[in-house]
Homo-oligomer: A and B are copies of this chain.
Amino acid sequence: MTAEDSSKEEIMSATFDALCEHGYANLTMQSIADEFDKSKSLIHYHYDSKDDLLAAFMDHLLENFVEMVTGCGGQDPVEELRRMADIVVVGADDGNDANDFHTALLGLRAQAPYDEKLRDQLARNDARIRELIADIVRDGQEQGQFDESVDPEEFAALFRSAIEGAQAHGVVLGDAAPTDEVMAAVDDLLVNRLLVGGEGGEADGEEGGE
């Protein structure tokens, strides 16, 4: 990694920390600089404005997310979708407080109706993540593992809505959010709708609860 790459990486990390600490509404260049070990001028050297920095941060997030889901490639498609759900709903196990970060993300999304640039970036990121899901579904279908009658794009739209909706619920409802139930139902969806031959059968664990 070059010194420049390393500085940028540290600025991204400082942005993440500042977002968790202050939320999206109160994020300033100064709050990011406060989390950054080097000079504030280095942040201004790399990024002209807060918008500029945030755009880079969101690209960075997306890249990391795709990497975390797909790993080194050649993975099991069901496992990739499970990992994605886990990262989005429960949070990446990276020692940071997922709840603070998810709260900042919700604040950012709630701002999108009033900020066209932000909306465009969120729309690009969303399209990229849905494409990733659809690609995983297609891979599973090509490997004969997934039911051919599932439409990859439609499945991707539902899967993405469900896990992002559950992430928002975690933030909005706190302990009252039904996170375990959602994760169990995601598993049921993967096993009983996506996997060939898994339909309608006994998945793994509790069935027909009352």
Contacts and interface: CB of A to CB of B under 8 A. Distances in A.
A182 B169 contact: no
A90 interface: no
Nearest to A25: B110
Interface residues of A, number: 62
A189 interface: yes
A46 to B, nearest CB: 27
A22 B106 CA distance: 19
Interface in A167-200: 168-169, 171-174, 176, 178, 181-182, 184-186, 188-189, 192-193, 196, 199-200
11 contacts: A110-B172, A112-B172, A123-B176, A147-B200, A148-B207, A151-B181, A151-B185, A151-B188, A153-B209, A156-B178, A158-B181
A122 B170 CA distance: 12
A181 to B, nearest CB: 4
A180 to B, nearest CB: 8
Given A106-B110, A193-B189, A206-B151, A157 B178 contact: yes
Number of copies: 2
Interface string A135-161: 000100100000111111111111011
Interface string A95-139: 000000001001101101100000100110011001000000010
Given A155-B185, A164-B169, A176 B126 contact: yes
Among A122, A138, A162, A184, residue most surrounded by chain B Cβ atoms (within 10 Å)? A162
A126 B165 CA distance: 12
Contact of A208 (B151, B165, B166): B151
A27 interface: no
A203 interface: yes
B207 A199 contact: no
A202 interface: yes
Contacts of A202: 149
Contacts of A156: 178, 181
